[in-house]
Chains A and B, each alone.
Chain A
């Protein structure tokens, strides 16, 4: 990937549990975004956190950003079967493109 690593690469959890995935990046950023992708489908924007923000919430999603460590985490609480997807972090360095991480595949078991 262009920016860094996401871990874990794959995650399997029971419905109702929380899912946490991490993303690291290499360059300075303007903002960091998380996207969801169902198998072979389009990318859906989930949440954007700016470089001067440390935490952001949206529904069952919580994102943290640590610019000193160049890392972010996405927490999905009370997971549902419909949360089964691949999750990508992407960084916006203020130039005209997004750089994606390798993605975490999340499987939520009913």
Chain B
């Protein structure tokens, strides 16, 4: 079965650079979520989209932005990267009927040096 696809799997950037993370949800899932998980931390909600519109926003820095496109894939753009942005970034998708749990991608490990 198709899963949530994230790319790239690993990314190394220098401070003050920009990074773009991509997420391809499960087909027919209309809601996409982004989470950030620092080392040894629980996942923290960043932002979500429903039907290509932002539906909720968490602790996302102003340096980050995201959008969901017409094909439902989503991109998380991160600018002026800081060392503290080093983390695992997960994307998850879910069908609106809420019958099942969220399906998470394998994550993108971002390292800022």
Among B31, B56, B103, B109, contact of A45 (Cβ-Cβ < 8 Å): B103
| A40 CB contacts on chain B under 8 angstroms | 88, 109
Q: Does B45 contact A (CB under 8 A)?
A: yes
Among A33, A45, A48, A98, contact of B33 (Cβ-Cβ < 8 Å): A98
Among A41, A48, A96, A99, contact of B50 (Cβ-Cβ < 8 Å): A96
Complex Cα gap A61–B90 (Å): 25
- Of A43, A48, A95, most buried by chain B (CB within 10 Å of CB) is A43
- SS of B interface (majority): strand
B9 to chain A, nearest CB (A): 10
Q: How many B residues touch A, CB cutoff 8 Å?
A: 25
Q: Of A13-21, A64-72, A100-108, which binds chain B? A: A100-108
Using a CB–CB distance below 8 Å, which chain B residues touch chain A? Answer: 31, 33, 35, 42-45, 48, 50, 55-56, 58, 88, 90, 92, 98, 100-107, 109
List 18 additional A-B contacts (Cβ < 8 Å) besides A45-B101, A96-B31: A2-B42, A2-B44, A30-B98, A33-B102, A35-B101, A40-B88, A42-B90, A42-B107, A43-B43, A45-B100, A47-B101, A48-B100, A88-B43, A92-B98, A96-B55, A97-B56, A98-B102, A100-B44
Can you report 23 A-B residue pairs in the complex whose CB atoms are below 8 A from each other?
Answer: A2-B45, A33-B101, A35-B101, A35-B104, A41-B106, A43-B104, A45-B100, A45-B101, A45-B102, A48-B100, A92-B98, A95-B56, A96-B48, A96-B55, A96-B56, A97-B58, A98-B33, A98-B45, A98-B92, A99-B45, A100-B35, A100-B43, A101-B42
